[in-house]
Chains A and B, each alone.
Chain A
Amino acid sequence: MFEDLSRKLDTVLKRLRGQGKVSEANVAETLREVRRVLLDADVNYKVARQFMDDVLRRAVGQEVLQSITPGQLIVKIIYDELVQLLGTSHVGITFSPLPPTVIMVAGLQGSGKTTFCAKLALHLMAQGHFPLLAAADVHRPAAIDQLEVLGRQNGLNVFTKRGADAVTVAREAVEHARLGARDVVIVDTAGRLHVDEVMMQEAEAIKAAVQPHEILFVVDAMTGQDAVTTAQAFHTRLHYDGAVLTKMDGDARGGAAISLRATVGVPIKFIGTGEKPDALERFHPDRLASRILGLGDIVSLVEKAQTQFNEEKAVALEQKIRKSQFTLEDFLDQLLEVKKMGPLQQVLGMLPGANRLPANAEVDESALVRIEAMIRSMTTEERRKPQIINGTRRRRIALGSGCTVQDVNKLLKQYEQMQRMMKTLGKGGRMDRMARGMRIHS
């Protein structure tokens, strides 16, 4: 079974937590294991060594030895160092005071540049910008088609000029944006190897021609030790302003991010979290660090819940649960609230301890869709008093929702079990504390 960085750190630190005091010897031993964990996460070996040195220097000080809970302190030190390595704050795109702002996107083949360009355009559009995509990858077969299709599917403006060289496409796209009142131009360039002299010269020429206000280097989260070499080589030639970490929805824990930060020092500005055009997130160093350490991305979850979850409804729901009056109608409400927070897979990933789930555990979103359909096929009376749902009603609900009677039976059974569970919780048990905790966060 897959073991990721946070899970391994968990094991290592659990061992530490069990011990009373931390000695220099067992810190060193633990840190050797942590270094191994970092290497397995594709952190460059030189970076990992530097990192361990820093942690060791801080850990073997007085503070740890005199501390009552040394384990926690070490977690804190490792976390702080990780956050520091990853950069301390989120940095956005630099916009030019004189539009159009030109953003150039570069990277190796297959790192996900074209997909990222479309995502970035959508992201900027949601912020009220009017982006134009420039199809300056004139080398890869059908790269222009790909950008055009993405543009058509997502309502994005794409500038193409078949047969022209990349520099011309980029230059004319900027001109086109100026005339067409587009305030951002995103230049999608061809993937290139950093050792390909001709192609690197082309990238430099594009940069010289359009003078981008922002150059972004796209790097695959699964990249290994070579990330340092390529990041440095591209930086030497292009002096990019920020990096984008793609394919973060896989199980690679982004050791490349640590390597990149440590060697080039530019901020990581975005992370790609899926193939869908809206799967782009801002990079938050603290969140990635806590995810790496298995502390869960609690901040993100609370933030999402805050914007989406209706406080009043939550209080009302709590009341109902207490009085065991939780009906199928409430269940549907609850379901819709969770749905608003985004794909369940993502929500789950943010929960602490989610890394302890089997790596391939996937939430069946379609089950929720079926449940919603079934409840929606019930009358108001049925939702409030599920006990009246007899055989005839079950058949009708199944027919109306496109499910089978067995599905309806299953749903009712689950509802019954849930109600029984809530009765026990309602008696001032864990639910009470959970509800209180929810309010403290929000």
Chain B
Amino acid sequence: MGILDKIGIGRLREGLSRTRSGLLSAVTRIITGGQRIDEQMLENLEDTLIAADVGAGTAADIMQALRDRSHTAMSADASALLPMLKEEIGKRLAAATVSAVEPFSLPATRPYVIMVVGINGVGKTTTIGKLAYRFTAQGHRVMIAAADTFRAAANEQLEIWAKRAGAEIIQQKQGADPAAVAFDAVSAAAARGIDVVIIDTAGRLHTRTNLMEELRKIHRVVGKHTPAAPHEVLLVIDASTGQNGLQQAKQFGATASVTGLVLTKLDGTAKGGIVLAIARELGYPVRYIGVGERLEDLQQFDPQQFVEAMFEA
């Protein structure tokens, strides 16, 4: 994994640098050394958090903590604000570090089943391609289950990614029962001694009860073949998502038993601050981040690094 990590981290820096430069300039504009803390400064800081899609509620909560802490230090040097802010954000992201499984590592269970869910257009298929690649690069045998039987040409797109990643693929024709595809894949994987099965599901809005029930069914049917499967359910969230992301996490969490998040498209200017709100309210760990369109552009999420990258001078 050593070489991969080297490529990966360089790419992560590159991806996050845009996020970083955006926030950094805003923050340094607000906090220039030697100045005294005043209400205007705090308000600007709150705006900066809101601009990062952290959400008005979470931003207010962070600012309250900051006010409480700096109350005694009010009219003290403003340079103390930044470390405090980082700390408060880090504290709220701490929930997001707790996960039973190391990213990019496979527990002993065979086949290990990962199900990927999310609304339309967040990058599920791309994420699956990248994830599959990481596992095949470690010498594991990967099978992808094409359970997005709804979208036109979903099979074709997944096939291309599977080929790139060197993974096997199980698919049926468009309109087939997604739960059946998932079940077939898991049984085929068990029979052929595959290490990991990644189930792609159709994008669906979290407000569509019947489609959400379909997810519950896929989850249940897979569990019938292999109890405890799917071992991981990853919810993919687009970094540009606003406050609706919280609803997505709640609904997918309730029906598909989400175990972790993947934050995609961090290579744009979107800050992905919604994961802070999700971490604060639901405590789902962010497992991976997507920082580009290449196979290697899936990284492990590191809260400390994420915060540092946001405010690094």
Contacts and interface: CB of A to CB of B under 8 A. Distances in A.
B156 A111 contact: no
Interface in B239-277: 240-245, 247, 250-251, 265, 267-271, 273-274
B230 interface: no
Interface string B78-109: 00000000000000000000000000000000
A405 B118 CA distance: 40
A40 B244 CA distance: 8
Interface of B: 18, 47, 50-53, 55-57, 119-123, 150-154, 156-157, 159-161, 174, 205-210, 238, 240-245, 247, 250-251, 265, 267-271, 273-274
A250 B245 CA distance: 11
A39 B123 CA distance: 26
A223 interface: yes
Contacts of A250: 119, 205-207, 244
Contacts of A148: 153
Nearest to B274: A224
Nearest to A43: B242
Contact of A42 (B159, B243, B271): B243
Contacts of A109: 121, 123, 265
A contact face: mostly helix, strand, loop, or mixed: loop
Contact of A141 (B121, B122, B160, B268): B160
A108 B152 contact: no
18 contacts: A39-B55, A42-B243, A142-B157, A146-B151, A146-B156, A149-B152, A153-B152, A222-B244, A223-B241, A224-B53, A224-B240, A230-B240, A249-B207, A255-B242, A256-B242, A275-B150, A360-B207, A362-B209
Contact of B241 (A45, A112, A224): A224
B56 A226 contact: no
B156 A141 contact: yes
B209 A141 contact: no
A251 B247 contact: yes
A235 interface: no
A39 B53 CA distance: 9
A362 B153 contact: no
Interface of A: 2, 36, 39-42, 44-45, 108-112, 140-143, 145-150, 153, 193-195, 220, 222-227, 229-230, 247, 249-252, 255-256, 275, 359-360, 362
A247 B210 contact: no
Given A40-B243, A111-B121, A226 B157 contact: no
A226 to B, nearest CB: 4
A223 B121 CA distance: 12
- Counting chain A CB atoms within 10 Å of each CB, which of B159, B242, B250, B270 scores highest? B242
Given A45-B50, A225-B53, A142 B270 contact: no
B205 to A, nearest CB: 4
B243 A41 contact: yes
B268 A108 contact: yes
Given A40-B55, A230-B240, A142 B50 contact: no
B243 A229 contact: no
A224 B122 contact: no
Nearest to B121: A110
Contacts of A255: 242
